[in-house]
Structure 1
Amino acid sequence: MPALTLQDLLDRAGIDDAINAYSHALDQREWRFLEKGFTKDAQITLLDRDQVLDLDGLVELLSGNDATRLGGQHLLGNTWYEIDGDTAHTVTETYWTTLQTSEEADRYLLIRGTAMYVDDLVRTEDGWRIARRALALKSVTRDLVPVREDDLENIRHTLTKDSWYKS
């Protein structure tokens, strides 16, 4: 493998910003961040559901559990980059967890999963953006768990902040 150039490293950083924008948009419900990660006409394919969504459809789907959602986190792991001029293909491993209320008293639904984000990106005037994403689900578990009252209070306190971002 040839040595990476400064431009290679800058491209990787810009691509990482686009990929990270999705996690921040989803985890903090800051949907405006999607435009920092995706092209306006992006297509997102959920392979496990055989479903293709645009950005509006994605927000609608992901907002579906807002009434019961206490929090979530999408952690990005290793990314493989194939960059060719103004286009790129990446594969990123991800792990996520979501905590939701349940119908059982004193029990909360903890969902954990792993997946791959398989992205085709383009360089735009505003930086790298994802034009196509395929979400390949690898594992998912759902458990009803107890949560201590003081932990629950701290989690809910975190949710009272309008935004953690300055811009």
Structure 2
Amino acid sequence: FSYAAYCDTKNWSFLDKIFTQDAVAIYGSEEEGMKCKGLDEIRSFLQKSLEKVISAQHLIGNIEIQIDGKSATAKSFLAALQMNEEDGNIKSSEVWGQYIDSLVKENGNWKIKEKKLNIIYGRQQ
């Protein structure tokens, strides 16, 4: 769940500690969302998407983790709150959803092989 903290603080240099190099991330539905392939593409997408965010906080709950040897699945629900600066104005936005992560163990550390964000609700004010 370091992913949420790294996004909230825009700590992009640590993404390689939590993602595999060939990771896939799907933000939203596979038809209408964004699919990123590889760590560099994930990092680039997050940097661009969160560029105007001046303050953010993920709240994570209802965590379910299933481990099967050197692979695992982690599911959690989230509420992500953000303050964005657009054209000199401050706007707030929120997203409620579910993360579904497939993880693998690499050199004794768990890393995300695939991350899916299923958006349940979102709004901007």
TM-score by length of 1: 0.66
Aligned equivalents of 1:23, 1:90: Cα separation in 2 = 14
User: Is residue 2:104 matched to residue 1:122?
Assistant: yes
Mapped to 2, the partners of 1:131 and 1:102 lie a distance apart of 33
The letter of the residue matching 2:62 is: N
**Structure 1 residue 140 and structure 2 residue 122: aligned?**
yes
- Report the CA distance between 1:129 and its aligned residue: 0.7
- Distance in 2 (CA, whole Å) between partners of 1:93 and 1:83 is 18
Partner amino acid, structure 1, of 2:65? Y
Q: Distance in 2 between matches of 1:47 and 1:112?
A: 14
Greater relative contact order: 1 or 2 (C-alpha under 8 angstroms, separation 6 or more)? 2
Between structures 1 and 2, the one with greater strand share: 2
Question: Could you tell me which of 87, 102, 111 is aligned with 2:86?
Answer: 102
Q: State the number of aligned residues.
A: 121
Deviation at 1:51, TM superposition (A): 2.9
Residue 25 of structure 1: aligned partner: 6
The aligned residue for residue 35 of structure 2 is 52
Deviation of residue 62 (structure 1)? 2.0
Q: Is the 1:121–1:131 contact (alpha carbons within 8 Å) kept by the matching residues of 2?
A: yes
Q: Which residue of 2 aligns with 1:41?
A: 22
Higher helix share: 1
Partners of 1:102 and 1:109 within 8 A in 2: yes
Which has the higher Rg, Structure 1 or Structure 2? 1
Structure 2 runs not aligned, ≥5 long: none
Give the one of 70, 86, 110 matched to 1:86. 70
1:58-73 residue pairs with structure 2 within 5 A? Answer: 58-64=42-48, 65-66=50-51, 68-73=52-57
CA RMSD, 1 decimal: 1.7
Structure 1: runs of 5 or more not aligned: 1-19, 144-167
Q: CA deviation at 1:126?
A: 4.0
Q: In 2, Cα distance between the equivalents of 1:71 and 1:55?
A: 24
